[in-house]
Structure 1
């Protein structure tokens, strides 16, 4: 049954017209690409910082490839036909991609705490199992310095670690904000 050939609607000339199945496939692809572009814009903060440009990019990421997919699918379906398994495979691929989109978007453009874990505090990194490990410290963000992360150990007497470039979706590495932060990082061989 799944290898059965599906008959498309007939065109005005009586020949099979694969425009509708190609349009459905293109719409599915456009929806998948729009969701991927939207998550990428959200994770990178592009949507928050430049909403008009981000909206334009999201629409372009959906419409332009969707149009190409429509034209290509129409030709391929006219040449080879349409089978039920192809429809199921397209739906499965689109669903899988839509489900995986948030993971890869936030993997490329991580949140600040995730960046700290990847660069300094996670397992195998220089601040893991120290008082500056996020499980042993309090994290705040300096209001007078946008993009500054302050990691204060819960043990009294230790200085706070201040890091710059601490923004969600940032691509630049966390850097010490002052001489005290450089000393702390050097002390832990960072």
Structure 2
């Protein structure tokens, strides 16, 4: 859910900036992309990461990198990520929102897999320490972002219920 949260924050942050100045916001986008992608590529390139680990943490990190590239604004074969598209497009088409929410489900599933693999891979901390600790960091940020969306969803449901509650009499 962490990558879903990053795109969410990029979209809502860009709406505070006037339309004609949103291109400047892309510099901040590049900074966040760098903060997310560089450590993942670094850990994948480490020789210790290819050692034997009982859990497929390296495969999971590869999936995380793929989803990070989809979320980010990197140009790969003319593919622009959600962060770039959402910050530059106004209004965002419904079909793009639908694809973004499917991406959110993929991101949630990947975060769940990361959590399960990391919790069952304590022995990998000795054989592949960088990979294990990267998985641990991804687990923590995934849990934090999932908690954010659970609180946000709960508040949305509470607000929606109070607006559509038939037992409320709003007439004076």
TM-score, normalised relative to structure 1: 0.26
Larger radius of gyration: 1
Structure holding more helix per residue: 2
TM-score, normalised relative to structure 2: 0.28
Structure holding more strand per residue: 1
